[in-house]
Structure 1
Amino acid sequence: MSTFEHSNLIQNINANLAPLRKAQPDAMAAFGQLARAAMAEGAISARNKELMALAIGITQHCSGCIGFHVKALIKLGCSKQELEEMLSVCVYMGGGPALMYTAEALAAFDAMSVPA
């Protein structure tokens, strides 16, 4: 489990991907369009889709995914109770390793929920 600050992690990832966005603009734009299409409001709400994406990020042990999807969930008005219920499913399905990243997601939620 990581012990870093997720807002900085998100900024670093974006900065590190900037050269790839310039070198491969079509591929990176296509990935962005895929993300927007997949996460758009539909029969399943955008918030529920973000909860699913965060669950996958946790069970795949992806700290960057945790940062980006927690940030999106906060923007979408996700409550701590909704997050905690989803996290319990992550632990159920992913066991101990998911529990470690669940702690990371909770810390990120608390840190990013604080007004800047």
Structure 2
Amino acid sequence: MTDFVQVGKDLAAGMGTLAKAEPETMAAFKGLMGATAGKEGELSVKMKELIALAIAITVRCDGCIAHHVKLCIEAGATRGEVIETIGVAQLMGGGPATVYGVEALKAYDQFMDAA
């Protein structure tokens, strides 16, 4: 079973390493994250993170799932909202999104247990 809390920690460490290796690109990427999902706008941060989670599920990215589940929780998303987000990802991504939707729900539960 994937330990998504650890995946999130490993991703953060790897992003730090990459930021040292290519600071200009990573600074631009961080700026893009802050300018889009990281601030309130017409969509709330929570809604943006749920959208990001749905995309992470459909593209089958464990690191993205860990990252965005954590941010969904920090933005106040409930388990029910995550489950509905998984449903939207299933609609758009079919069987593979269903498999990664299971992983996303595991990630949510793991992060909540770790809190």
TM-score w.r.t. length of structure 2 = 0.93
C-alpha RMSD of matched pairs (Å): 1.2
Separation in structure 2 between the aligned mates of residue 17 and residue 81 of structure 1, nearest angstrom: 30
Q: Which amino acid aligns with 1:85?
A: E
Deviations 1:69-108 (A, max 9, x none): 0000111110111111111111111110000000000000
Separation in structure 1 between the aligned mates of residue 43 and residue 14 of structure 2, nearest angstrom: 32
1:15 paired with 2:8, answer no
Separation in structure 2 between the aligned mates of residue 109 and residue 51 of structure 1, nearest angstrom: 12
Q: Size of the alignment, in residue pairs?
A: 114
Which residue in 1 is equivalent to 2:105? 106
Separation in structure 2 between the aligned mates of residue 11 and residue 76 of structure 1, nearest angstrom: 19
Please list every run of 5 or more consecutive structure 2 residues that lacks an aligned counterpart in the other structure.
Answer: none
Q: Which amino acid aligns with 1:111?
A: Q
Separation in structure 2 between the aligned mates of residue 61 and residue 31 of structure 1, nearest angstrom: 20
Q: Which amino acid aligns with 1:74?
A: I
Which residue in 2 is equivalent to 1:75? 74
Q: Could you tell me the percent identity over the aligned residues? A: 42
Separation in structure 1 between the aligned mates of residue 79 and residue 21 of structure 2, nearest angstrom: 39
Separation in structure 2 between the aligned mates of residue 82 and residue 14 of structure 1, nearest angstrom: 25
Q: Would the alpha carbon gap of residues 94 and 70 (structure 1) be closer, same or farther in structure 2, given more than 3 Å must change? A: same
Separation in structure 1 between the aligned mates of residue 108 and residue 12 of structure 2, nearest angstrom: 19
Separation in structure 2 between the aligned mates of residue 70 and residue 64 of structure 1, nearest angstrom: 10
How far off is 1:115 after superposition? 4.7
